[in-house]
């Protein structure tokens, strides 16, 4: 049976697709704004994914249909240049560009892309898009790269082609995600380990709370935080710390007079968040979700007060969660300034919690949030489609 996207592909290009690749969006349990500071993160892949259906061409032309936008674009591989244009097609071009920059000569393709990861919602739809394409292209052209390299090239596309200086967390989890597991990653060494996330066994669910707030400033504020955190690290280094992972809050307190209050708070977030990730891993090992939840609340406070990446719409989740029986923990997720948060909630209390959140947001005149329970899905996959398909 052909699915509807394969039919669309055949209609658009007059041929059959040969490969279907996909990659997930993500939540991050904890470890926010630590990846680009060479720290620890603990994300998990979600069931929402982006898909890339493609067939090779004989020339060096690429034609892509983005079904979610009902838009098509075409470009030639010989004229790829980063541009200022913020458009989905730049992410597609960026992946071709990053692979060619790494020395792989690609051919053209015809492709259809679509997905159900909500855009600009803090669930990393861009990494899902990038990784689905890199997974598809490497499989289509028989390029054998280690999975770490796939994640890094996808990040390079976003950093150097699209111009968003993100860390590695989103691309890494999109490649390495595993069903019902969270992934602990040391963003400096890229050492990682999967830990089972026994939610249903413990009658718990993870709620994603999408504020529906999309902040245009997110990109520039994000880059500003990167820069501030790196200035704070220079001062820590001048006082003997090797890096953020090696720094302690004790040292930070000692050298407080040597830094501005702003840099002090940025450093305090990064150092304390790294410690919270490590404590969260300990909690996960014993299914101690009460302890994990408490760390989530602390993470939100730190992101709100010290790193200053929250917003009133996200704070509603935290404040409501703190006082709601059955909510073990809640925090903003991803870059912040809007987008989504997550909460760990007793399943029997999920519906009531959603109702309460909507009422609280409504009382404050905020947009109605979209709340959905998520499940933890697989990382990137690519399958070759059989040539002859039955109807």
Contact call for residue 266 and ligand GLA (CB under 6 A): no
Contact call for residue 334 and ligand GLA (CB under 6 A): yes
The 3-class secondary structure across 13-29, one letter per residue, is HCCCCCEEEEEEEEEEC
Catalytic residue check, 102? no
Answer for which of 18, 121, 124, 181 binds ligand GLA (CB under 6 A) is: 124
Half-sphere exposure of 2 (CA within 13 A, CB side): 17
* Smallest separation, CB 302 to ligand GLA (Å): 12
* Smallest separation, CB 155 to ligand GLA (Å): 8
The stretch near ligand GLA (CB under 6 A) out of 54-62, 161-169, 235-243, 267-275 is 161-169
Closest of 152, 153, 91 to residue 125, by C-alpha: 91
Q: What DSSP string runs through 321-347?
A: HHTSTTEEEEEE-TT-SSSEEEEEEEG
φ and ψ of 252, to 5 deg: -60, -45
Contact call for residue 120 and ligand GLA (CB under 6 A): no
Q: Which is nearer to ligand GLA, 166 or 252 (CB)?
A: 166
Radius of gyration of the chain (CA): 21
Contact call for residue 228 and ligand GLA (CB under 6 A): no
Answer for which of 32, 130, 273, 346 binds ligand GLA (CB under 6 A) is: 32
* Smallest separation, CB 272 to ligand GLA (Å): 14
The stretch near ligand GLA (CB under 6 A) out of 31-39, 87-95, 97-105, 243-251 is 31-39
* Smallest separation, CB 166 to ligand GLA (Å): 3
Cα 259 to Cα 228: distance, rounded to the nearest angstrom: 11
Spell out, one character per residue from 335 to 374, where the chain touches ligand GLA: x when CB under 6 A holds, - when not: x---------------------------------------
**Long-range contacts, stretch 100-103, CB < 8 angstroms, 24+ apart:** 101/156, 102/149, 102/153
Catalytic residue among 35, 110, 170, 306: 170
Cα 194 to Cα 180: distance, rounded to the nearest angstrom: 10
Contact call for residue 159 and ligand GLA (CB under 6 A): no
Cα 5 to Cα 60: distance, rounded to the nearest angstrom: 23
Answer for which of 120, 170, 210, 273 binds ligand GLA (CB under 6 A) is: 170
* Smallest separation, CB 275 to ligand GLA (Å): 16
* Smallest separation, CB 170 to ligand GLA (Å): 5
Contact call for residue 35 and ligand GLA (CB under 6 A): yes
**Residue 112: partners with Cβ closer than 8 Å, 6 or more residues away:** 5, 8, 9, 12, 17, 52, 53, 54, 64, 65, 67
H-state helical runs in the chain: 4-13, 88-101, 125-140, 147-156, 169-176, 218-238, 249-254, 261-285, 289-305, 312-322, 350-363
**Residue 210: partners with Cβ closer than 8 Å, 6 or more residues away:** 118, 121, 122, 339, 340, 369, 370, 371, 372
Answer for which of 17, 33, 109, 371 binds ligand GLA (CB under 6 A) is: 33
Contact call for residue 308 and ligand GLA (CB under 6 A): no
Catalytic residue set: 170
Give me the residues that bind ligand GLA (CB under 6 A), please: 32-33, 35-36, 124, 166-167, 169-170, 334-335
């Amino acid at each position: 049976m052909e699915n509807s996207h394969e039919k669309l592909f055949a209609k658009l290009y007059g041929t059959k697709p040969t490969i279907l690749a996909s990659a997930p969006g993500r939540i991050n349990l904890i470890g926010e704004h630590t990846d680009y500071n060479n720290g620890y993160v603990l994300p998990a892949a979600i069931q929402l994914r982006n898909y890339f259906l493609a067939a090779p061409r004989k020339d060096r032309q690429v034609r892509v249909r983005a079904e979610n936008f009902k838009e098509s674009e075409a470009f030639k591989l010989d004229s790829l240049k980063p541009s200022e244009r913020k458009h989905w097609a730049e992410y597609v071009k960026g992946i071709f560009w990053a692979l060619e920059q790494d020395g792989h000569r690609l051919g053209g393709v015809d492709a259809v892309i679509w997905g159900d990861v909500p855009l600009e919602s803090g669930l990393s739809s861009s990494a899902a898009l990038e990784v689905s394409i890199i997974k598809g292209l490497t499989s289509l052209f028989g390029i054998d790269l280690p999975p770490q390299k796939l994640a890094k090239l996808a990040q390079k596309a976003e950093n150097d082609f699209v111009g968003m200086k993100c860390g590695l967390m989103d691309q890494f989890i999109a490649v390495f995600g595993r069903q019902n597991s969270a992934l602990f990653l040391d963003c400096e060494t890229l050492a990682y380990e999967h830990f089972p996330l026994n939610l249903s066994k413990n009658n718990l669910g993870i709620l994603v709370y999408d504020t529906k707030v999309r902040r245009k400033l997110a990109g520039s504020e994000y880059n500003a935080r990167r820069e501030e955190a790196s200035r704070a690290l220079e001062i820590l280094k001048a006082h003997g710390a090797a890096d953020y992972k090696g720094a302690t809050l004790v040292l930070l307190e000692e050298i407080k007079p040597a830094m501005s209050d702003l840099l002090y708070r940025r450093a305090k977030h990064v150092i304390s968040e790294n410690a919270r990730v490590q404590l969260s891993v300990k909690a996960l090992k014993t299914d101690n979700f009460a302890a994990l939840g408490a760390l989530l609340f602390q993470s939100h406070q730190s992101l709100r007060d010290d790193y200053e990446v929250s917003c009133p719409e996200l704070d509603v989740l935290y404040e409501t969660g703190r006082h709601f029986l059955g909510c073990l923990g809640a925090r903003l997720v991803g870059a912040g300034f809007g987008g989504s948060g997550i909460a760990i909630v007793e399943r029997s209390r999920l519906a009531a919690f959603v109702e309460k959140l909507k009422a609280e947001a409504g009382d404050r005149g905020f947009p109605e949030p979209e709340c959905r329970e998520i499940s933890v899905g697989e990382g990137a996959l690519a399958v070759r489609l059989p040539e002859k398909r039955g109807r």
